[in-house]
Structure 1
Amino acid sequence: MNFHYPNGKRYVPVKKEAIKLKQEKKWSFGNRGMTLEEDINETNDYYLVHEIAVIHKKPTPVQIVQVDYPKRSAAVIKEAYFKLASTTDYNGVYKGRYIDFEAKETQNKTSFPLKNFHEHQIKHMEAVVKQKGICFVLLRFSSTEEIFLLEANYLLKFWQRMKEGGRKSITKEEIIENGHLIPLGYQPRIDYIKKIDYLYNLK
């Protein structure tokens, strides 16, 4: 079965050996090569197990383009494409409040490019903010392994600035000023709920 990403590139499944290695790597606190997604998923697992919050990564929608029917009672997908997700990466509930957020990382050291976001994601965050949901982005600077929580209302302002002809990125100084640094911990890895407690007085 062939899967393709939205850009047409063919999806290559990870071998079992690589998965096992990844799992061993995942539980090593000393490792600093984990992706932002891996850290967040591990954090969300911790929240779920300890009944702190229920937050999940949204599955990427798939468009099936070719199906074979070797038997009348069975169908085999031969080719499919990963569609571009229409909203943000994560959502869930915490203390009765709806949480919705996106996670991005960059190799840049002094700014975060706004091209990392898509117009439909911005519109989705605008809609969540209007409904008074807790909406934010987690931004990771890969070179320094710093992770910041930036509330959606600030991201929307920087996006609007770009639309009006302003700079196409958020400076690190602006992120430090308006965002909140989340230190990388052990369990949970990225304790963003602690920042949510502080920002929304949910303790």
Structure 2
Amino acid sequence: MSFHYPNGKRYVPAAKKTAKPLAHKEKKWSYSNRGMTLEEDINQSNEYYLAHGIACIHKKPTPLQIVQVDYPKRSAAVIKEAYFKQASTTDYNGVYKGKYIDFEAKETQNTTSFPLKNFHEHQIIHMKKVLDQNGICFVLLRFSQTNEVFFLDATYLLGFWDRMLNGGRKSIKKEEIEEIGQSIPLGFHPTIDYIKIIDYIYNL
């Protein structure tokens, strides 16, 4: 496959290998020391961005299908039975430097590849629509066993999805993610500084 960044620049593996890794000046922490989930870490990072006026990005609430409601008082209603519905888009969205941000976060226990079954077709369709509108769309992928988090632009994910639909492998090799994605060093505040990666890739 031939890869290009969303800003039109062609991805050149050799250049990336000689580039210095993105450094994080703050104290490094490990998932094994904190027991935090990927979602909790992203939520903490988003709270940091919001509190410091960096970005306004939130987790989308999971839609509910309400089945039974009681009205003990005219002014109050109590939900007695409800079910979580499958979300039709991605987990997170918001605004950063005037740009629309939209992304999904996924984890795997695998150590050598990331299964594409972790994504739903409706999420792939949604990400394509965001890209069609020139939004910034990506996925954060965590390899739980090694505590590694990678930033992968949605354009690449769509390419791997199409490869699967055309009879190719049903997962993304970790080597592929390491080559075209960006590793995110884990920090303290924010825990997962994906905004720094956005600045780096999209020249913001």
The TM-score with structure 1 as length reference comes to 0.84
Which shifted more, 77-86 or 27-36?
A: 27-36
> Which residue number corresponds to residue 103 of structure 1?
105
> Which residue number corresponds to residue 186 of structure 1?
188
Tell me how far apart the structure 1 counterparts of residues 43 and 136 of structure 2 sit (CA, whole Å).
Answer: 19
Aligned partner of residue 105 in structure 1, secondary structure: strand
Aligned partner of residue 198 in structure 1, secondary structure: helix
Per the TM alignment, residue 75 of structure 1 is displaced from its structure 2 partner at its CA by 1.6
Aligned partner of residue 110 in structure 2, secondary structure: coil
> Which residue number corresponds to residue 201 of structure 1?
203
1:147-190, CA deviations, whole angstroms, 9 ceiling, x for partnerless residues? 00000000000000001111000000000011000010011100
Which shifted more, 146-155 or 62-71?
A: 62-71
> Which residue number corresponds to residue 121 of structure 1?
123
> Which residue number corresponds to residue 37 of structure 2?
35
> Which residue number corresponds to residue 148 of structure 1?
150
Tell me how far apart the structure 2 counterparts of residues 28 and 129 of structure 1 sit (CA, whole Å).
Answer: 33
Tell me how far apart the structure 1 counterparts of residues 152 and 172 of structure 2 sit (CA, whole Å).
Answer: 11
Output the aligned Cα RMSD: 1.5
> Which residue number corresponds to residue 57 of structure 1?
59
Per the TM alignment, residue 28 of structure 1 is displaced from its structure 2 partner at its CA by 9.8
The TM-score with structure 2 as length reference comes to 0.84
Q: Which has the higher contact order (CA 8 A, sep 6+)?
A: 2
Tell me how far apart the structure 1 counterparts of residues 111 and 51 of structure 2 sit (CA, whole Å).
Answer: 35
Aligned partners of 2:30 and 2:186 also within 8 Å: no
> Which residue number corresponds to residue 85 of structure 2?
83
Aligned partner of residue 31 in structure 1, secondary structure: helix
1:40-80, CA deviations, whole angstroms, 9 ceiling, x for partnerless residues? 00000000000000000000001110011222332211000
Aligned partners of 2:30 and 2:147 also within 8 Å: no
Which shifted more, 71-80 or 193-202?
A: 71-80
Consecutive unaligned residues of structure 2, counting only runs of 5 or more, are: 1-28
Aligned-pair identity in percent equals 78
Q: How does 1:128-167 map to 2 (within 5 A)?
A: 128-167=130-169
1:80-119, CA deviations, whole angstroms, 9 ceiling, x for partnerless residues? 0111000000000000000000000000000000000000
Aligned length: 176
Aligned partners of 2:103 and 2:140 also within 8 Å: yes
Consecutive unaligned residues of structure 1, counting only runs of 5 or more, are: 1-26
Which shifted more, 190-199 or 71-80?
A: 71-80
Aligned partners of 1:29 and 1:186 also within 8 Å: no
The letter for the 2-side match of 1:94 is Y
The letter for the 1-side match of 2:69 is V
